[in-house]
Chain A
Amino acid sequence: MRTYRRTKFTLAVITFLSVAFTFGLGGTVFAAEGTASSSECIKCHTDLKKMDQYGAASAAGAAAIAG
């Protein structure tokens, strides 16, 4: 009975670690790919002085008559 419980516990730990490793690593890889695949977009849009050159929209509240 004790051996059965120990085996069950060991299996549960292995399963948990496998899931955590797989998804944790997967998430990291996705994030790295995400920002790397957008490096030029980020470089440009985070250059705030450059953004100023493109002019600005003049936001207008209450433009609508929805209520």
Chain B
Amino acid sequence: MRGRDTYGVDKDYVDSVHGKIGCINCHKGKNVSDKDKAHEGLVKDPSEKDGGGVCIQCHSDITSKYKHSMHYKLTGIFNIVSTIIEPNKIPDTILPAAAKLDCLNCHASCGSCHVAWPKVAEGGLLNRHRFEKNPPMDKTCYACHGSRYAGEYMGKLGPSPDVHYEKYQMVCTDCHKGEFLHDTQPASATRFYAVRQPMCTDCHPNAVPGKSNIAMHNAHKKDEVACTVCHATEYFNCVNCHVSLDVKEAGKIKVIFPSEPLETFKIARNYDRSKYNPYKYDLVRHTPMKKDSLASFYWFQDVLTGKPGPKDLIANYDALPTWNSASVHTIQRKTKQNSSCNACHGHKDLFLTKDDLVPSEPTANLKVIVNKIPPMIKERR
């Protein structure tokens, strides 16, 4: 990248609807030629505050919903963290400071999808400050979701790209419309899989069990197996992640992956069924949270505040599973497990069982394991 790709503004942008507002009206700063003086009081992302910032003035119909959305509030992350640290409370820990240093880099403002690369990618402007109605997925979605969903969708992880991308060049927003991304519904949802979202059957109504001309679809009851169970290929998992204070660079968080990433395919029981994830069996992905993943925060809190943090920060580690419902994006029409009934039935290796669990992992994993593998089906001759 060149400097122009990071900070450059195109002349045609100046004549656009947004350009005509003028830089200072949004970014503050001063209209002088001296660079340092011009940038005094500069607001780098004027769309950040209250879920819309300056965008609220013209787009309040969107921002009024967006300020409550999961992309803006990172509801899921904070709900999980507050659950597993109980009885500790987030405000009594160093977690808010750590969130500011790292987690919140993925919190999305209007500008971090429509004007600039997300903060975590540190890339500056997307396209010479032009406003991108459909954010380019390789720069925006991928920057935050690249290590799993977007990465596997584009084939940068795992054995093959998703057929929707490989064959039809579909982009994220073809399915994940702005109305879903801007407006999290139901508002009480605390997991991404529980929110209003596109369903495969919206575009493939003939795949609904009982209405299909494919025998395998009709052989399973409605809401019995997620589409991905039959149509996804292997996918990426994170196993063991540790977060630490970066000793080389003060004020930075370091995320350490001491183990090799894992590619798996595991069918499990869905213990958290909801309207948008109603399936009894779903694919699960491993979350890289270990009991001691945040152990260094004990010392981190001491360094920053003069008082050590809770010794057992993740005190309620057993409350949530580390194998969680996964919206796998490696879809193919034909897969190893859907080649015949008995390519799946009777294959223990495809299912998450007790043997897959590591003793040091949370007991909540017992809620998702499959205790009885579907038996092989006697095939007709």
Contacts and interface: CB of A to CB of B under 8 A. Distances in A.
Interface of A: 30-31, 33-46, 48-49, 51-67
A43 B21 CA distance: 15
B3 A60 contact: no
Interface string B1-30: 111111111110010000111111101010
B62 interface: no
Contact of B3 (A53, A61, A63, A64): A53
Contacts of A64: 105-106, 118, 120, 143-147
Contact of A65 (B33, B38, B241): B241
24 contacts: A31-B20, A33-B22, A34-B21, A35-B19, A38-B25, A40-B38, A41-B27, A46-B10, A46-B11, A51-B2, A51-B4, A56-B1, A57-B1, A57-B6, A60-B121, A63-B121, A63-B146, A64-B105, A64-B145, A64-B147, A65-B288, A66-B144, A67-B147, A67-B149
Contact of B23 (A38, A51, A61, A65): A38
B23 A42 contact: yes
Contacts of A35: 14, 19-20, 22
B142 A61 contact: yes
B123 A59 contact: yes
Contacts of B288: 65
Contacts of A53: 3
Interface residues of B toward A: which range? 35 or more
Given A37-B25, A39-B31, A61 B8 contact: no
A59 B31 contact: no
B124 interface: yes
B68 interface: no
Contacts of A45: 7-9, 23, 129
A46 B14 CA distance: 9
A65 B105 CA distance: 11
Nearest to A39: B31
B35 A44 contact: yes
Contact of A60 (B32, B123, B238): B123
A38 B22 contact: yes
B147 A66 contact: yes
Interface string B106-147: 100000000001101111100001000000001100111111
Contacts of A43: 33
B221 interface: no
B4 A59 contact: no
A61 B22 contact: no
A46 B122 contact: no
Given A49-B4, A57-B6, A65-B241, 10 more contacts: A33-B22, A35-B19, A37-B25, A46-B9, A48-B8, A59-B1, A60-B143, A63-B143, A65-B238, A65-B255
Contacts of A56: 1-3, 5-6, 124
B259 to A, nearest CB: 14
A67 B86 CA distance: 24
Max chain B C-beta neighbours (<10 A), residue from A34, A43, A56, A64: A64
Contact of A44 (B20, B33, B144, B238): B33
Max chain B C-beta neighbours (<10 A), residue from A44, A54, A61: A61
B156 interface: yes
Nearest to A49: B4
B269 interface: no
B266 interface: no
B151 interface: yes
A58 B3 contact: no
Interface in B28-49: 29, 31-33, 35, 38
Contacts of A59: 1, 117, 121-124, 139, 143
B14 to A, nearest CB: 6
